Structure 1
């Protein structure tokens, strides 16, 4: 019976699903049948290649080896890529650290930092006995292996296993060079893997002679020396070409542990190590026992390299400044530099003496164990830096890296911000009375309140409630806005550390460094200009060319604070010393301005002050933040400031503090070196008269003129009347501009 009529929607959907199901079942069935037939044909074909018996074992091993080999290659590629990234381009051979010689402001050498590096000696010029000493000790199969000494590595593993520790290294000379050039001294499996791949890379790109030469030039050999030539000069005062067998053995012994075996640090250990090197040469067959007998009986003696007193904290900081200049591309590509700094050796020594003297005499009674200080010119040139009591005991620089609360020495930033609003003057009457912000209520040092007084008196007496009231007024009633504006001024003046916005920020609860505080006070001393602290005045490359001069290559300092505001602030800060908490910093005959600072529980004590000539910041406290015995900024810090600065102002032309009248006597006044009453210390030596930078430049001009004449006309030019007249005429013209400082 034929069905007539249209199907409903539901019926059409059902029939569609039935059709799809039927097609799917048929397709799967047909695909399975075809796959089965294809597999049967494949099996029949593979039967033709079937191997039985002993041959099958070989085929299985070959197949597994191929599989593991492919997998191993992929793993090695994954491990090699990070190693090859360490190469970092085509200029890897040119990479080396800075080698810097530092001069003081008058051109006298005061120290070195970075590396001593000299690759001027060719491999052919190295003594044969030195090369044999190195190879016998570091890598006897150097010319036989492909970058990794498999035999040596296995031997080292066996020896170390028997000793239950690391007593013998397995790295080849090429691996050591790879580490020196590209990697750190970190002891890790990752570094060893990178080292192995980089050794293979070096062997592929360089000859054996090139690898050996690079190793001898770049290996660290103690005493700041990199390379055999620099080490020979440092330890024996001669070229590597001239070292004896005993000296060569001592130098070759440094590669394993340069600090441990450095002869200027531990001569007995260095000689014992040299004896081992001589034994290695005999064992390797390079020399006979008879040939090394004389070297054993007469071990090498290095030149005297006893450490002389040097401004180490200053030089560490100055070296970091040079690194930043180099990273910024301001020094070109030369890595051997000579830097004239702003360092004043006489002030540096006086600062070190003052810090040690105060801690030795009063440190125990005040329970204070550490101190730090920075002295600088008003333009930011750092003349002296003491980062702690003893550099040998701790190289941590408390002047640049320690974050400490400044206490009331922070208040001048608050007062400056208040004056900038135009709402206040030094004569403005303010009231010292109880005040609370939320549940925080600031108290004064004496737990009492003084009522109404001029703003200048509030700063001189270091009243705590006044800067808090000022922060509210600065923010037009909102203390948070006021503190934000204060922080902006602090940043503008030179405080670079994070300043946490708390209600107690106006009275010095934030953390700062001595260097930043001193640089910020320099803004008061120079009339309102930014004073970024610096060490490098002039930098010369290895050829003697001037590649950087601060006054030439950097823009002139910007005026950041209005001169009238600075004048008002300076007038108030002078009162702090003459009438307030900073009296012990006073120098007879010299106008001094500054501010004391003391933090909660007496953990930190400060005095930061300035004259028209110099700025200095002083901090006393303890590294573990332990409280002192009621030490305030007006005691040891102010006394230390006086002991440093009084000699520094002798025999110099006294400059006025901007906006402050000079002391009666003006330029003829001479600073006294006597200590504050009740705190007498040993008399300070009078600061020697030295040439100021203008005189130094003048002498430099004469020197350049003389060299120019010799170059053009020869030494006989000085015998000619015309040249003599020109030379001494020039000398008279520049000599008139010389001045003693």
Structure 2
């Protein structure tokens, strides 16, 4: 027991304070007691809140812990499944060489008569090149443009994807629309369509197949990522780049950088310069838009952007960059010359489909095209329309130039000539008008008539069964009475042509025309002689080639032979040429002489070329809906057609006008630098070839100066006999009297 009243304080436990300790034995003051009571009350009030916060914190920790446990296990399972999927996909991938050429169709390369390529069709593939073989500038340009982290990422670049999504969202697009952030490996996976080959039973055509391969959905992006990582597992970076370099589409029908380098620059991908490499890499963004054959300026602007990226990433130094910009890439001669598109289309249509339009092989076709002559025709047409046709005119024209055996040397299908356009030289069936008349005269000459025989040019009316009375008229609405066949043709008089056709028989005329290649529904009535039938320009030009070559039919052709690339032996040969004889050679030579007279002093005078013998015939259809001029020198036959596609009548145009001008401008360029050669023609028997040339000199059918008879009156009569104007002061009666006497002498009477 303790003592009482000893004066010692009672022993108590020490209190703990956050501040300084209170002296032992001292009682707390009143305010201090109140403070403790206040804190105790506040603690009692905060107790439920602390309990609630503690409960919530505990729940969060439990949920987070559970979620983390699920997440890392799910992540581990997903990673395991991804690894399995990637490994499984990698195991199924074929060798690199099996993937470089995945075209569903082949290519056609067309060569001109000199063996130089001028047109391409189908999907061009220049052969496999590896990333190690191509120019380092090309590899650097592709990496700088498409995937600067290509050499380090595992097939997918999260940083690139995040950047692309941010850009798309900032521009108001969906996260997967626009910039895709795809690596080169992912782009290669897309080019391979994730390993799905083209199946014609599943897709309508190759275009539909490729559109499906390019489809962008979340599911497809996941599949693409798996396939890309599988490729990284299966192949080296160089092998992936090799596949990409060979599979990428680069415009103008080219597949792969080797084909594109050859197509645009005429060099291999191993030899491209930095400027050329930048232009090729720039095509990857939009091949058709940036193709230099479409717009060289646009392609150079895009190449400049690529060059800046190459310098920024250290692939080019400042000097190389400056050199590339000062000397941008230029197209090769073959690529720059985009002529011959209509001709190429025609040749493609002339061959079997399985080796042309639908080929699965790589084919080379040698053609008859002469690019010098092709340029001549194109320039001539452009010149006449620019200088002689009113601005804004919708009139069209077409030109065909061929040799006497039917080999087509040039073809212009319209003012906007090019591949895939309507070819008026081969597709447009138009009435031939007076350009048909040579076949009427050919039938007559083949039956033994002479160019100096006479035919009556007087008013004519004929009863046509089922149509009533038909009264043809001459273009000038004048009648000259009895005139020679030569004069009738030179002046393109209608009534003599009808009279002659009825005399020799329409069936004979139809047979001659058909024999020369004017096929189709030839008119049955007397209007046959006036060109009421329809034909194409290429067929009409081929028919005139038959006259030039001495009376044998020709089949116009452009294909010389067709071979598979890499093979020596041709699979097929020439598709045309000289065929059977239609009229006697003597008749053809006389007809050529008569057609020469058309140009010398008839309706075709605007086609004259100084120093050259030119034969031809004009043609104008009813209401001037079509205007023709077809003529030839000793080596080339050229046909020109002009008109409107909708058959609107031409205003103030006849065959002897603008078509003859186009013909002359074409042939001036074609014959430039060549030595003149005489036409293979024969004047009428009995010296009927005497005439007065444009210089006032008498000449015979060869064009050489002819010795005068010494009698001015006789010389004048001879001139009048062959279509020249009557001597000044001579009456028509006097002229006809001289002609009668002269014809008697020439006929041996």
The reply to whether TM is greater than 0.5 is yes
1:220 and 2:249 are equivalent in the alignment: yes
Q: Which residue of 2 aligns with 1:516?
A: 539
The answer to whether residue 629 in structure 2 is matched with residue 603 in structure 1 is no
SS at match of 2:581: coil
Counterpart of 1:557 in structure 2 is 579
Q: Name the CA distance, whole Å, in 2 between partners of 1:523 and 1:218.
A: 49
Is it true that 1:102 corresponds to 2:119 in the alignment? no
Output the CA distance in 2 between the equivalents of 1:423 and 1:138.
86
For residue 375 of structure 1, what is the aligned residue in structure 2? 401
Q: Which position in structure 1 is the counterpart of 2:128?
A: 120
Name the CA distance, whole Å, in 1 between partners of 2:535 and 2:417: 22
Closer, same or farther: CA 182–580 of 1 in aligned 2, 3 Å: farther
Q: Find the partner of 2:678 among 654, 666, 677.
A: 654
Q: 1:434 to 1:224 in 2, by over 3 A?
A: same
Give the direction of change, closer, same or farther, for the CA distance of 1:241–1:457 in structure 2 (3 Å limit): closer
Q: What secondary structure is seen at the aligned counterpart in 2 of 1:122?
A: coil
1:442 to 468, 472, 476: 472
Tell me how far 1:516 sits from its aligned partner. Answer: 1.7
* Residue number among 359, 383, 406 corresponding to 2:385 in the alignment: 359
Residue 304 of structure 1: CA displacement?
Answer: 1.7
Deviation at 1:337, TM superposition (A): 3.3
Work out the CA distance in 2 between the residues paired with 1:519 and 1:562.
18
Structure 1 position 460 matched with structure 2 position 490: yes
Per-residue deviation at 1:641? Answer: 3.1
TM alignment of 1:82-93, pairs within 5 A: none
When the two structures are aligned, how many residues end up with a matched partner? 553
Q: Distance in 1 between matches of 2:279 and 2:206?
A: 26
Shift of 1:630: 1.7
Q: Which moved more, 1:253-262 or 1:351-360?
A: 351-360
Alpha carbons of structure 1 residues 628 and 473: separation in structure 2 relative to 1, 3 Å? same
The answer for the alignment partner of 1:52 in structure 2 is none
Going from structure 1 to structure 2, the CA distance change for 1:455 and 1:599 (only over 3 Å counts) comes to: same
Q: Which residue of 1 aligns with 2:370?
A: 343
Matches within 5 A, 1:154-165: 162=173
* Mapped pair 1:636 → 2:665: no
Alpha-carbon displacement from aligned partner over 1:102-153 (angstroms, at most 9, x marks no partner): 344xx3747343365312313665677577578759999x9989xxxxx9xx
Moved more, 180-189 or 434-443: 180-189
Q: Per-residue deviation at 1:442?
A: 3.0
Distance in 2 of aligned mates of 1:237 and 1:501: 55
Q: Do the aligned residues in 1 keep the contact of 2:399 with 2:425 (CA within 8 Å)?
A: yes
Whether the aligned pair in 2 keeps the contact of 1:370 and 1:389 (CA below 8 Å) is yes
Q: C-alpha distance in 2, partners of 1:165/1:415?
A: 74
Asked whether the equivalents of residues 454 and 482 of structure 2 are also in contact (C-alpha less than 8 Å), the reply is: no
| Displacement after TM superposition at 1:392 (Å) | 7.9
SS in 1 for 2:553: coil
- Structure 1 residue 531, shift from structure 2 partner: 1.8
Cα distance in 2 between the residues matched to 1:122 and 1:309: 25
Asked if structure 2 preserves the Cα contact closer than 8 Å seen for 1:177 and 1:219, the reply is no
Indicate if the aligned counterparts of 1:406 and 1:511 stay in contact, CA closer than 8 A: yes
For residue 118 of structure 2, what is the aligned residue in structure 1?
Answer: 111
Structure 1 residue 396, shift from structure 2 partner:
4.7
Find 1:612's aligned residue among 634, 659, 662.
Answer: 634
CA shift at 1:413, angstroms? 2.7
Shift in alpha-carbon separation, 1:155–1:453, aligned structure 2, 3 A: farther
State the Cα distance separating 1:379 from its structure 2 match: 1.0
TM-score (norm 2): 0.57
- 166 and 486 in structure 1: CA distance in 2 versus 1, 3 angstrom threshold: farther
C-alpha change, 1:193 and 1:448, in structure 2 (3 Å) is same
TM-score (structure 1 length as normaliser): 0.58
Q: What SS does structure 2 have at the residue aligned with 1:547?
A: coil
What residue number does 2:291 align with?
262
8 Å contact kept, 1:406–1:512: yes
Q: Distance in 2 between matches of 1:166 and 1:452?
A: 82
Mapped contact 1:499–1:510 kept (Cα < 8 A): yes
Match of 2:549 among 501, 510, 526: 526
Answer whether contact 1:343 1:535 (CA < 8 A) is retained: no
- Tell whether 2:412 aligns with 1:398: no
Alpha-carbon displacement from aligned partner over 1:198-250 (angstroms, at most 9, x marks no partner): x99xx9xx998799866643543125533122334566776545779997676
* Residue pairs, 1:399-548, within 5 angstroms: 399-417=425-443, 422=447, 426=451, 427=453, 429-430=455-456, 432=458, 433-437=460-464, 438-439=467-468, 440-469=470-499, 482=506, 486-487=509-510, 489-495=512-518, 504-537=527-560, 545=568, 547=570
Partner of residue 330, structure 2: 304
From the CA coordinates, give the structure whose radius of gyration is larger.
2
Alignment partners' CA distance in 1, 2:702 and 2:571: 34
- SS of aligned partner of 2:629: strand
CA distance in structure 2 between the aligned counterparts of 1:362 and 1:321, rounded to whole angstroms: 32
* 1:23 aligned partner: none
CA distance in 2, matches of 1:316, 1:393: 6
What is the Cα deviation at residue 517 of structure 1? 1.4
Q: Give 1:401 deviation, angstroms.
A: 3.5
Q: Which runs of 5+ in 1 are unaligned?
A: 1-91, 146-150, 280-288, 476-481, 671-741
Shift of 1:408: 0.8
Conserved 8 A contact 1:261-1:273:
no
User: Residue 561 of structure 2 contacts residue 573 of structure 2 at CA under 8 Å; is this kept in 1?
Assistant: yes
Q: Do the aligned partners of 1:111 and 1:310 also contact (CA within 8 Å) in 2?
A: no
Aligned partner (choices 638, 643, 657) of residue 621 of structure 1: 643
State the Cα deviation string for residues 583-626 of structure 1 (Å, max 9, x = none).
33344554433211112333322211224332221233345544
SS at match of 1:121: coil
Matches within 5 A, 1:649-728: 650-657=674-681
Q: Which is helix-richer, 1 or 2?
A: 1
Query: Are the aligned partners of 1:368 and 1:622 in contact in 2 as well (CA < 8 Å)?
Result: yes
Whole-angstrom distance in 1 between the partners of 2:607 and 2:198? 52
Cα deviation, residue 523, structure 1:
0.8
Structure 1, residues 508-537: CA drift from partner, whole Å, max 9, x if none?
Answer: 233333222111111111111122223345
Q: Which residue is equivalent to 1:231?
A: 260
Is the contact between residue 253 and residue 270 of structure 1 (CA under 8 Å) also seen in structure 2? yes
TM-superposed CA distance for 1:635, in Å, is: 2.3
Unaligned runs of 5+ in 2: 1-100, 157-161, 691-698, 706-749
Pairing partner for 1:593 from 615, 637, 641:
615
